[in-house]
Amino acid sequence: MKACSVRVRGVIQGVGFRPFVFRLARLHTLSGWVANCGDGVEIHVQSADDSLDSFLRKLREERPPAAQLTSIDVRRYDFAATFESVVRARPVAGRRSDPQSGCSEAR
């Protein structure tokens, strides 16, 4: 199983970026999750095939028009456990994202 964690920073909240990631992951039959965090989103996706490269390429090239990405950091690794589907996570009610927190609500 191949996997990657992706941290996308920029103006991407409130522009349909998480639903875009969800649809893109489903299109590539990936599983994992995507969640808002301080200055962007954190994504974890995994696959048994080579579809991660296509997913990452389209993440950069086909993003929503209003999304303004400042950086995309990707960490790849082999992964033993599996998720059964993609989940669009939301922050816990009443908690606010702290840009210095390293996405604590996504953990």
Residues serving a catalytic function are 18, 36
**Phi, psi (degrees; rounded to nearest 5) at 30:** -95, 160
Q: How far apart are CA 46 and CA 99, in angstroms?
A: 26
Are the C-beta atoms of 102 and 45 separated by less than 8 Å? no
Angstrom CA distances, 22 to 19, 87, 96, 100, 106, stand at 5, 7, 22, 25, 15
Closest alpha carbon to 67 in 19, 26, 12, 20: 12
